[in-house]
Structure 1
Amino acid sequence: MTKLTLSAVLLLSLTLIGCGSDAEDSNPAQNAQFSGWGGGGFGGDRVTSVETEPVTRQSISEQVKSFGTIKAQDVVAINPQVSNRIVKLYADLGDTVRQGQILAKIYDPTFKDQLQQAKAQLEQSKVAIERDSTQFARQQRLLESNAISQAEFDNAFATYRNSVSQYQSAVASVTQAQENFNNTEVRSPVHGVVISRTGAEGDIASAGQTLFEVANLVGYETRIYLPVQDWKAVKIGQEVNLRVSNEKESSAKGVVSRKSPQLDATTGLGEVVITLTEIGPNIYPGVLTENVISIVTKDRAIVIPRSAMVEKVETIVEPESNTIQLQRTYSVFVSQGDSVAQLRTLELGIEQGDRIEILSGLNPRDNIIVTGQQSLQDRGSIRVASGSDFQSPQQQRVAGDNQAGNGQNRQARQGGGRPGQGGNPFQNMSDEDQAKMRQRLQNMSQEDRRAYMDSLRTANASGN
């Protein structure tokens, strides 16, 4: 009786295993859905679905990026040379002015009176010098005839020299008075655009206080400040692409025109001046731009996306210094025959955005794994899939619902697998129930999984 019972149990187990194999073979899509739970259909090596892309040669540049503000190359500060009340303004913010154009008028009667007084003193000096020069000539003739003493002649000569000095002083006074009077008209020294005005009619204009700022219309530039490593790498003549913050493409182009020979003692930054050579429609004085300086460009470099790399960080303890250091290595998985993932250690070159140059470790036309590589191991089994296999569970569920009716009709016409099979036993479960079921299956042996799956399919078919 015991032998008969054991034989019956053994026969039942072999039947369940066989049925489980038939069910899995008849529905490979379903097996792929649950391959993540046990790996490879509840047994054997784990097969990971991945995406690949070929390695190509591309152009890549090492770049230095920094932000700066666009401004005119030359901004002229116009300060009144005399102090008094402003009686008239002839230019305002944004006006284009010519060289020599009057921008403001300062109250001038006082300066006009000073000019007239200086001119009157000049006339008096002319009369005095004519009188004293005549007297000096007369005394010189009398001295030659011994009619006067040397002392009398010296007095005449001193008087004449004093008259000459007073005349020269009067000439200088007239020049200064004329200059002050002319400066009551504030004029632009350059052709440009008024970008600032600080005074108004009725205000007191003070000498040395800026009244206008005029941007000279000769071009634009921007100044950036770089840390020492980037500052050392930048050279005069290198090309620069400028991008306004709200634009995707470059808004202007320029070149490095000047570079400070020293670092700022306070900030430790080096100044670099960029002169714009091509200006887009959105470039104005005061606009903040990102400046991208191309340091080195390689035209045919092996380039991969940074996201495809696998980074390994090792902690190294230095016993002598009792310090901890982090050692980083980078690698990538290469697909071999679309079935095996091979790990390659990489030597990295220059970086540009999310792209990075590979100096060694890859060859052109290698197929690198770009999705699904984080869970791989060297020589692991893979299945190259398309992008649709990496949809989120919600996207897959919507796609499955749209195709459910057609799939059931097609299964009815074709026989739908072995008799009594209920399709996907988890299709009516919630996400929480599926998670619990997934945990339960992971703790089962291979035989128990197959038996349990068959029982669920049978129950599902009976319920339908």
Structure 2
Amino acid sequence: MQLPLIGKVRQPAPWVIALLTVGIIGAGATTAVIVRQQSAAPDISTLTETVQSQPLTVRITASGTVQPFQTVNLSPKTTGILAELYVEQGDRVRQGQIIARMESDSVRAEMAQAQARVAQSEARLAELRAGSRPQEIAQRRAAVEQAEARVVEAQARLDRENDRVERNRILLQEGAISQDEFDAILRDAATAQATLEQNRAGVREAEQQLALTRSGSRAEEIAAAEAELAEAQGRLQAVEVQMEDTIIRAPFDGIVTQKYATEGAFVTPTTSASEASSATSTAIVAVASGLEVLAEVPEVDINAIQPGQTVEVVADAYPDQVFQGRVRLVAPEAVVEQNVTSFQVRVDLTSGQDKLLSGMNVDLTFLGDRLDNALTVPTVAIVTKDGETGVLVPNDENQAEFRPVQLGTAVGDQTQVLEGLEPGERVFIDLPPDQKQEWIQQEQ
């Protein structure tokens, strides 16, 4: 530390040298003694300060920037044309509020088709569950009666053909007809028999259909119809999700900080939508919520920073106002820039949100532990000699004497002394001109 000079150090004037040369002694022996005594013990009350024991609050300073507590760039989930935009920059929005709509004509068409399929499946299932109508049962009964009538008719034909076979068998024996003629008659009888069996099968089938109609739909048919309806409903839900994706909503309460797109713009999804600093043209708007301060604290001070710690914040825009905050988070990993290691500290603002704006530069003071009996000296009293830190204290003759000390924290214009001084001792904050010149020469 280089102490400021009080006045200027001048060379003796020529006339003083001349007087000394001729040996003028006008003051006498007594006066010489008094002068020597005054030179030996000068008055240093205005040049020193007393070492005090006083309460001291550790204060750590850092710089930072105001930024949103939560921010996001909103973009659509699917590529398309921005049809409607309902907000402007600076508008306040609520969570879930519609910000914008994408063009959705094709999705609306798919939704109409899906709704029609659901309605069709519901109608079929309802029909199966309701069972057969009386008209259907009557139709099935009539079919059975018709089949039975065909059986009676076929039986009568078969009876006639059998009688014909017996008559012609006698004629064949008498030689009245040939064998070929008799074989043809046998074939007609066989055809009549086959027709009868076919009609009897028709009766059985008609009776089964009548029984099914009377008992209603089968469980398998109802289950199949239910599965068909579930599939149609699932498709409708998928289309409804696509329709919802064309609507851009605010994810939280906040304010629109940026507007990137206008109606009619072609926008696409972007993976950088969650980063407010990545102002991409594919985003529609940026929404931010709350304010916090992001501070850079030097590595040597980070051990004194704890979550919940009180912080004083002064913005360049409001130099005469002190806003309050609390430490929310201390980053677990350091940031190294230009070989300087620091840690990011996030501070929640408890006052000043109505005045501070995102991007403002601020100075922060972290209020640390309170020391009830801390020895302090003025910071200007601290000097360095041969690379060692210390203070200048008066000796028995009130001359400046270097004493090494161990320093603690510095708060304002006071610095804590851990070792090397006792309460009530005095330290130089300035030196008499003669001692100052001597100290400077020693340092040189």
Q: State the TM-score, normalized to the length of structure 2.
A: 0.59
Tell me the equivalent position of 1:341.
Answer: 400
- Residue type of the alignment partner of 2:114: A
Which whole-Å CA distance do the structure 2 matches of 1:246 and 1:58 have between them?
34
Which whole-Å CA distance do the structure 2 matches of 1:180 and 1:90 have between them?
20
Cα shift readout 1:285-317 (whole Å, capped 9, x = no counterpart): 222222222232324433222322221235xxx
- Any conservation in 2 of the 1:334–1:344 contact (CA below 8 Å)? no
Query: Does residue 1:73 correspond to 2:146, yes or no?
Result: no
Q: CA deviation at 1:193?
A: 0.9
Change (3 A) 1:361 1:189: closer
Give the secondary-structure state (helix, strand or coil) at the position aligned to 2:24. Answer: helix
- Correspondences of 1:139-150 after superposition (within 5 Å): none
Which whole-Å CA distance do the structure 1 matches of 2:354 and 2:26 have between them?
69
Which whole-Å CA distance do the structure 1 matches of 2:111 and 2:50 have between them?
86
Which whole-Å CA distance do the structure 2 matches of 1:355 and 1:86 have between them?
62
- Correspondences of 1:340-379 after superposition (within 5 Å): 340-372=399-431, 376=435
- Correspondences of 1:122-271 after superposition (within 5 Å): 122-131=118-127, 133=129, 158-208=220-270, 210-216=283-289, 219-226=290-297, 229-245=300-316, 248=319, 251-260=322-331, 262-263=332-333, 270-271=343-344
Which whole-Å CA distance do the structure 1 matches of 2:236 and 2:324 have between them?
53
Which whole-Å CA distance do the structure 1 matches of 2:224 and 2:92 have between them?
52
Which whole-Å CA distance do the structure 2 matches of 1:312 and 1:280 have between them?
48
Tell me the equivalent position of 1:412.
Answer: none
Tell me the equivalent position of 1:422.
Answer: none
Give the secondary-structure state (helix, strand or coil) at the position aligned to 1:372. Answer: coil
Please tell me the root mean square deviation across aligned C-alpha atoms, in Å: 4.5
Cα shift readout 1:238-267 (whole Å, capped 9, x = no counterpart): 11112224665563211122344x325988
Which whole-Å CA distance do the structure 2 matches of 1:375 and 1:59 have between them?
36
- Residue type of the alignment partner of 1:288: N
- Residue type of the alignment partner of 1:358: V
Q: Return the index of the structure with the highest Cα Rg.
A: 2
Give the secondary-structure state (helix, strand or coil) at the position aligned to 1:17. Answer: coil
Structure 1 vs Structure 2: percent identity of aligned residues?
21
- Residue type of the alignment partner of 2:90: G
- Any conservation in 1 of the 2:312–2:323 contact (CA below 8 Å)? yes
Q: 1:92 aligns with which of 88, 93, 100?
A: 88
- Any conservation in 2 of the 1:253–1:279 contact (CA below 8 Å)? yes
Q: State the TM-score, normalized to the length of structure 1.
A: 0.57
- Larger RCO, structure (CA 8 Å, separation 6 or more): 2
- Correspondences of 1:9-88 after superposition (within 5 Å): 16-18=22-24, 51-88=47-84
Query: Does residue 1:119 correspond to 2:115, yes or no?
Result: yes
Which whole-Å CA distance do the structure 1 matches of 2:19 and 2:252 have between them?
100
Change (3 A) 1:308 1:122: same
- Any conservation in 2 of the 1:58–1:301 contact (CA below 8 Å)? yes
Tell me the equivalent position of 1:291.
Answer: 364
Change (3 A) 1:280 1:118: closer
Unaligned runs of 5+ in 2: 1-17, 137-206, 210-216, 274-282, 440-444
- Any conservation in 2 of the 1:118–1:174 contact (CA below 8 Å)? yes
Give the secondary-structure state (helix, strand or coil) at the position aligned to 2:224. Answer: helix
- Any conservation in 2 of the 1:76–1:215 contact (CA below 8 Å)? yes
- Any conservation in 2 of the 1:45–1:381 contact (CA below 8 Å)? no
Cα shift readout 1:155-205 (whole Å, capped 9, x = no counterpart): 965554333222112112222323433443433243321112221121123
Which whole-Å CA distance do the structure 2 matches of 1:105 and 1:274 have between them?
36
Q: CA deviation at 1:46?
A: 12
Unaligned runs of 5+ in 1: 1-11, 26-30, 32-39, 139-145, 149-154, 315-327, 383-464
Tell me the equivalent position of 1:303.
Answer: 376
- Residue type of the alignment partner of 1:102: I
Q: CA deviation at 1:353?
A: 4.8
Q: CA deviation at 1:236?
A: 1.9
Task: Kindly tell me the number of residue pairs found equivalent between the two proteins.
Answer: 324
Which whole-Å CA distance do the structure 2 matches of 1:105 and 1:13 have between them?
102
Tell me the equivalent position of 1:460.
Answer: none
Give the secondary-structure state (helix, strand or coil) at the position aligned to 1:356. Answer: strand
Change (3 A) 1:301 1:125: same
Q: CA deviation at 1:354?
A: 4.7
Which whole-Å CA distance do the structure 2 matches of 1:14 and 1:259 have between them?
72
Q: CA deviation at 1:340?
A: 3.5
